[in-house]
Amino acid sequence: MLWLVIAIALGMVVGLICRPSSTTLLWLDRSLVVSLVVMLFGLGLQVGSNPKLSQALDKHVFSVLALVFAVGFGSLAWGWWLGKGERKACPQ
């Protein structure tokens, strides 16, 4: 877990020093989205192929769905709130 914190801190330092161009940041943003989708797909494959987890999901399907929708709604609400504040701070 410590290596994750070190990697994020190192990325922040390099970003502050180098100040990548907007084209580089756009490419990086798109590649990060693709890699996150691939990792989530792989996680789904692991969960789906594990019989113990599949049985546990069958028993608790409603609580799992409630958790998924609550996390999704919370993420959307948080993103909307952050975007709303960003527009106020930078009028166009």
Each residue's pLDDT tens digit, 57-88: 778 888 888 988 999 999 999 888 887 765 55
On whether both 42 and 5 belong to a single domain, the answer is: yes
Residue span of the structural domain in which 73 resides = 60-92
In terms of domains, do 9 and 31 share one?
A: yes
Question: 76 lies in a domain?
Answer: yes
Q: Is the pLDDT of residue 27 over 60?
A: yes
Are both 41 and 3 inside the same structural domain? yes
The domain tally of the chain equals: 2
43 and 18 in a common domain: yes
The reply to whether 55 falls in a domain is no
**Counting beta carbons within 10 angstroms of the beta carbon of residue 8, is it exposed (0 to 12), middle (13 to 18) or buried (19 or more)?**
exposed
- Cα 28–Cα 34–Cα 39 angle in degrees, nearest 5: 120
70 and 44 fall within a common domain: no
The reply to whether 14 falls in a domain is yes
31-48 tens-digit pLDDT: 988 999 999 899 888 878
- Name the residue with tokens 């990548």: 20
Identify whether the C-beta of residue 32 lies closer than 8 Å to the C-beta of residue 24. no
Q: Do residue 36 and residue 68 come from a single domain?
A: no
